[in-house]
């Protein structure tokens, strides 16, 4: 079992990215995902289960798309897959969807295509100019780099971030985990979202050191028995989430940094299970507990703990 956006069946065949003759031929026989970077959406059929992304033949996409097509890879059946950043057409039987909404519902094949395409599109939208010289850049290598007029080249970068489910190491329904409500999240009438603690890995820092630092900074708690669980892309706009479990003592006072965390508290397995089952768990001020979205690695970590998988390498 892997996080929901860590699934893919694409072979990226990176050696083809600079082969213009092969890419020209591949475009003509390939499948093309249309993705609108403004909204981060693509088209899907949602009348089937699981939802099915709509991929087009080259002849059915806007003229000139081959010039801005990003080559994602080759499917197991040998068909190349491309993505194009363009407004979405109106197509009967489909609707525009975003990755947060459907990523966990998609089959492995489509989860990999959508996640890769969105990550690339978001990177291109933020790198129209060289950070070193300020010169304009243009897409190159089938979407996997950008180059300026002097040949200066930049490649896609991913921002590493850690995310951790802090728990007390206790088995059974009374075992507890520590979740927080981010100060920057918009409020939801009648609800308050709690999630795992997270933060970017800083320069010169290991992911495990970031876990220690971020938890201490955000809620004033010291953790140990830090164990890596898994990772997934989070292209909003371009992070790689490194998921951990760690143990802390619930007797240690929780002291939130109000600039980052509005609320933080311990929840029992019984409370988390009730919330996932759709039952109301009161978190004060008339608000009910809301948990992270299903496409997030945060909910994946919560499920691993809830199901009793708490080996943190200690």
Q: What is the mean pLDDT of residues 287-304?
A: 97
Residue 311 has pLDDT above 70, yes or no: no
27 contacts 135 by C-beta, under 8 angstroms: no
Q: Which of 156, 152, 160 is nearest to 134 (CA)?
A: 152
Segment 267-278 shows an average pLDDT of 96
**pLDDT at residue 313, rounded to an integer:** 41
At 153-185, the pLDDT tens digits run 999 999 999 999 999 999 999 999 999 999 999
Angle, CA 26 vertex, CA 11 and CA 49 arms, to 5°: 55
What pLDDT does 83 receive? 98
Alpha carbons 14 and 144: distance in angstroms, whole number: 9
Model confidence pLDDT, tens digit, residues 193-243: 999 999 999 999 999 999 999 999 999 999 999 999 999 999 999 999 999
Confirm whether pTM is higher than 0.75. yes
CA dihedral 52, 53, 58, 63 (to 10 degrees): 140
Six-digit token pair at 268? 């029992």
**What's the mean per-residue pLDDT of the chain?**
95
| Tokens standing for residue 260 | 């980052």
Nearest to 305 by CA among 271, 280, 278, 279: 271
pLDDT at 14: 98
What is the spatial distance between Cα 4 and Cα 280, in angstroms, rounded to a whole number?
26
- Looking at 41-50, 71-80, 241-250, which range is the least confident one? 41-50
**Overall residue count recorded for the chain in this entry:** 314
How remote is the C-alpha of 249 from its chain's centroid?
30
- pLDDT for 150: 92
């Amino acid at each position: 079992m892997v996080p929901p956006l860590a699934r893919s069946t694409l072979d990226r065949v990176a050696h083809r990215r600079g082969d213009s003759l092969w890419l020209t031929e591949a475009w003509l026989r390939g499948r093309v995902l249309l993705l609108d970077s403004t909204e981060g959406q693509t088209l899907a059929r949602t009348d089937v289960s699981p939802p099915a992304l709509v991929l087009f033949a080259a002849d059915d996409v806007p003229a000139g798309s081959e010039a801005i097509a990003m080559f994602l890879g080759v499917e197991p059946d040998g068909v190349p897959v491309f993505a194009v950043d363009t407004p979405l057409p109106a197509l009967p039987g489909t609707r525009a969807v975003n990755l947060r909404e459907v990523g966990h519902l998609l089959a492995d094949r489509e989860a990999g295509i959508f996640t890769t395409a969105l990550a690339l599109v978001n990177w291109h939208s933020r790198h129209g100019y060289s950070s070193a010289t300020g010169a304009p850049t243009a897409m190159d290598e089938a979407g996997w780099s950008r180059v300026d007029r002097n040949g200066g080249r930049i490649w896609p970068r991913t921002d590493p971030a850690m995310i951790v489910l802090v728990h007390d190491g206790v088995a059974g329904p009374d075992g507890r985990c520590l979740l927080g409500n981010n100060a920057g999240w918009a409020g939801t009438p009648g609800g308050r979202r709690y999630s795992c603690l997270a933060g970017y890995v800083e320069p010169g820092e290991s992911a495990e050191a970031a876990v220690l630092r971020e938890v201490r900074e955000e809620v004033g708690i010291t953790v140990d028995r830090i164990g890596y669980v898994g990772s997934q892309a989070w292209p909003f706009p371009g992070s790689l989430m490194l998921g951990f479990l760690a143990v802390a003592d619930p007797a240690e006072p929780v002291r939130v940094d109000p600039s980052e965390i509005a609320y933080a508290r311990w929840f029992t397995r019984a409370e988390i299970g009730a919330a996932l089952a759709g039952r109301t768990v009161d978190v004060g001020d008339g608000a009910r507990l809301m948990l992270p979205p299903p496409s997030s690695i945060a909910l994946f970590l919560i499920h691993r703990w809830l199901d009793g998988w708490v080996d943190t390498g200690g």
